[in-house]
Chain A
Amino acid sequence: DQQVKQNSPSLSVQEGRISILNCDYTNSMFDYFLWYKKYPAEGPTFLISISSIKDKNEDGRFTVFLNKSAKHLSLHIVPSQPGDSAVYFCAASGRGTGGATNKLIFGTGTLLAVQP
């Protein structure tokens, strides 16, 4: 049962344009969402997060949007740069994950390629 889904395995974007990565979730008990970026042979690097009490959070070139009614979030990167090329993981946590833990439930990732 995949509670966090990233339906696009890959995305290609021109340098300078906007990259939009999407994520859907099924568990309405999730209340905290994160985006991580991962290069091959490295660990995930935290990018940005959003609490369920907000619908938008911005940090530099990165903006995350949350649509609770649609159980959907997206990460916008603008302008995209070649160094942004990596796998992007969406993750969720909250009461729905069980107990007092904030274990993260990850999507399967989207490979972003930014073309120079």
Chain B
Amino acid sequence: NAGVMQNPRHLVRRRGQEARLRCSPMKGHSHVYWYRQLPEEGLKFMVYLQKENIIDESGMPKERFSAEFPKEGPSILRIQQVVRGDSAAYFCASSPYTQETQYFGPGTRLLVL
């Protein structure tokens, strides 16, 4: 029973490029959450999605960041025109229902040069 899968595990981008982070939830889970961990900080909520719907994006930066969870395929977190301050670990979590424990993937470590 595979857990939450994220790829790539490491991503290096130059300033101004685009970063695409992918997340496949656990089997049977239809709720996906994205969190970001900046160096020396705790995890911060970014966005909560269900299939084809964004439920809560209150933690997303207003510009350059977007997320989707299509009917088929993984959830995608997209960062356009990356800046050095975007360097962080990005974690995806999934749960079977709302108000259930969230299980995390291994994360994608983004480094912006």
Whether B91 sits at the interface, judged by CB under 8 Å, is yes
Whether B11 sits at the interface, judged by CB under 8 Å, is no
Give a binary string over A85-116; 1 marks a CB under 8 Å from any B CB, 0 the rest: 00001010100001111111111110000000
Which one of B36-44, B69-77, B79-87 contacts A?
A: B36-44
- In the complex, the answer to whether B58 meets A98 with C-beta atoms within 8 Å is yes
Tell me how many residues of B have a C-beta within 8 Å of chain A. Answer: 28
Question: Across the two chains, which residue of chain A brings its CB closest to B102?
Answer: A104
Question: Across the two chains, which residue of chain B brings its CB closest to A91?
Answer: B43
Give a binary string over A30-54; 1 marks a CB under 8 Å from any B CB, 0 the rest: 0010101000011111100100000
Question: Across the two chains, which residue of chain A brings its CB closest to B91?
Answer: A43
Tell me how many residues of A have a C-beta within 8 Å of chain B. Answer: 26
- In the complex, the answer to whether A106 meets B56 with C-beta atoms within 8 Å is no
Q: A108 and B42 in contact (CB under 8 A), knowing A43-B107, A103-B56? A: yes
Interface of B toward A, CB cutoff 8 Å:
4, 6, 33, 35, 41-45, 48, 55-56, 58-59, 91, 93, 95, 98-107, 109
Contacts A/B (CB < 8 Å), 17 sampled: A41-B106, A41-B109, A42-B107, A43-B4, A43-B6, A44-B43, A89-B42, A99-B58, A100-B56, A100-B98, A103-B56, A103-B59, A104-B35, A106-B42, A108-B41, A108-B42, A109-B42
